[in-house]
Every structure is written in C-alpha cells, then in structure tokens.
C-alpha cells in the first residue's frame, strides 16, 4: 500500500482543511469559513478549530467509526462552550465536513459527513463514490453564476444573506460536525471490500474540478482520468491552472479563487 497526500492552503486567511495520515487511518476534514469575524488563539478561525479538533479525535483510532465520529462532534461542542460560543446560533457554530477510512486486511471501514468525497477506483477503470454528498452550495453557486457578472462585489459580500441562510440549515438539510447532536443522524458509514480496488481517494472540495454550470450534475470521469494519468499533484495542478484563469470566481462559480485542499490517495 502506497500513500500520496496533499495539504495545501488556498487564498483564504487560514488553511481550514486538516489531513490525517496515521498508520492504517486516513482522513480529510474541511472546516467551514466562519460567518463571524471572531478568531481565537493564534488567529485560528472556527473552521480551523473544528477541522483540527475532529481530525485529532479520529487520530486516536480507538473505537468504531461511529464512536470516533460521535466523540469528534462532542469535542467541538465542548471547545465552543469553553469559549462562550452561542450554541443556539447556527451561524456562530464551528463546523467541518469529513471523510475517513481505516484499512484492515482486504476491507475498509469508512465514515463521511458533509461534502468530502471517498472514491474507489477499480482495476477495470470503473469508479464509484462510497457515499452520496448533499450539495448544499448548489443554489448559492447557481445564483452567483447569474448575478456575478453584474456586480463588482465578491461572492461573500454579494451573497452574504444566501450563504447565511444555507449555513442555518446545518444538520437540518445537510450534515456537518458542529457539536449539534443531530449531526450524527447525517453520518454515513460502512465497510467496503477492497477486492479489485486499485486506488482509494479522499478529498475536500478544493480538489473538485471547476464546474461552469453548477446546476448540472458533475461528470467525475475527467477528474478520475487526470488522477490516473498524473496522480494527486497533477490533478491539483490542472485545477489550480483553470482557477487562475477566473480570479473573480464568475466563470466557474465558487467561494474562493483557490480553496484549501486536503487529499489522500491510497494506492493498493
């Protein structure tokens, strides 16, 4: 088993992604950019703290995936409470998506919440996602595609009300670790047979190919083919080059010119 990984800061003030590579345990965590200007020790944001707290809890690698998830979610709530965060205000909560796998013999335990992806690529060339990701940003990015060219404001300003509305639907319409007990209702987990699997990919949405029409269903074949041809770093370079042609995020609607990336490729 060979492992390739990337942890890369995008154009935000802090890298809010977290990468976990620990013996037979691998994970990526995508902290959500806070909707408040509040920062904490060392200038860390709520998104940074959420992803790092969850990742470090999983790193302990003790218990089932569901138990690790419950503890990760709980420690976020505990740390927020210690800092007097209003736990009844969703827009104030720290939150993170996650995808984690644990490889043992010829099988893989997995857990996922939010919009982090887990992909199995088979020796046949076929591929499959182990879980369905709720695209909570589809409406926002579709709206931005329509109004972006007519405003000079960045997406965070022009779409602030819409972004806040979506954030307030956490663990109602889509799941994230944010300390709310309801998060666990959105956890997806299982065991997958690794027979015939050549690669397992885990990645945050910073490694998604830019999508010009967000309301259309994604075709991941190009992304998988690029990985097969040039590995994670080649895929990363292709994505960054496309993004660099659209600094205002209007041709390819997204929240940042370059998002943070956490990604792992497990090559069997």
DSSP assignment of 87-100 equals TT-GGGS--EEEEE
Closest CA to 255 of 147, 117, 144, 170: 144
Residue identified by tokens 């987990």 is 189
Task: Say yes or no to pLDDT of 133 above 90.
Answer: no
pLDDT tens track for 224-253: 999 999 999 999 999 999 999 999 999 999
164-212: pLDDT as tens digits: 999 999 999 999 999 999 999 999 999 999 999 999 999 999 999 999 9
CATH class for domain 2-267? alpha beta
pLDDT tens profile 30-86? 999 889 889 999 999 999 999 999 999 999 999 999 999 999 999 999 999 999 999
- pLDDT value, residue 251: 97
**Is the distance from CB of 114 to CB of 47 less than 8 angstroms?**
no
Backbone angles phi, psi at 246, to 5 degrees: -140, 70
Q: What's the mean per-residue pLDDT of the chain?
A: 96
């Amino acid at each position: 088993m060979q492992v390739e990984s990337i942890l890369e800061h995008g154009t935000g003030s802090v890298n809010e992604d977290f990468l976990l590579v620990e013996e037979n345990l691998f994970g990526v965590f995508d902290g959500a950019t806070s909707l408040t200007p509040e920062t904490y020790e060392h200038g860390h944001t709520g998104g940074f703290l959420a992803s790092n707290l969850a990742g470090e809890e999983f790193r302990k690698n003790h218990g089932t995936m569901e138990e690790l998830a419950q503890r990760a979610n709980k420690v976020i709530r505990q740390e927020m409470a210690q800092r007097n965060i209003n736990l009844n205000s969703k827009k104030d909560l720290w939150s993170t998506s996650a995808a984690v796998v644990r490889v043992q013999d010829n099988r893989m335990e997995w857990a996922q919440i939010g919009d982090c992806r887990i992909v199995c690529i088979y020796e046949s060339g076929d591929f499959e996602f182990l879980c369905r990701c709720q695209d909570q940003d589809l409406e926002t990015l579709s709206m931005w595609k329509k109004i972006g060219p007519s405003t000079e404001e960045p997406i965070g300003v022009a779409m602030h009300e819409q972004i806040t509305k979506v954030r307030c639907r956490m663990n109602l319409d889509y799941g994230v670790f944010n300390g709310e007990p309801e998060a666990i209702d959105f956890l997806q987990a299982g065991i997958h047979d690794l027979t015939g699997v050549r690669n397992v990919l885990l990645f945050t949405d910073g490694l998604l190919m830019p999508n010009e029409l967000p309301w259309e269903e994604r075709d991941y074949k190009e992304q998988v083919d690029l990985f097969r041809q040039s590995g994670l770093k080649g895929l990363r370079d292709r994505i960054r080059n496309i993004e660099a042609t659209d600094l205002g995020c209007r041709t390819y609607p997204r929240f940042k010119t370059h998002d943070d990336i956490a990604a792992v490729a497990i090559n069997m």
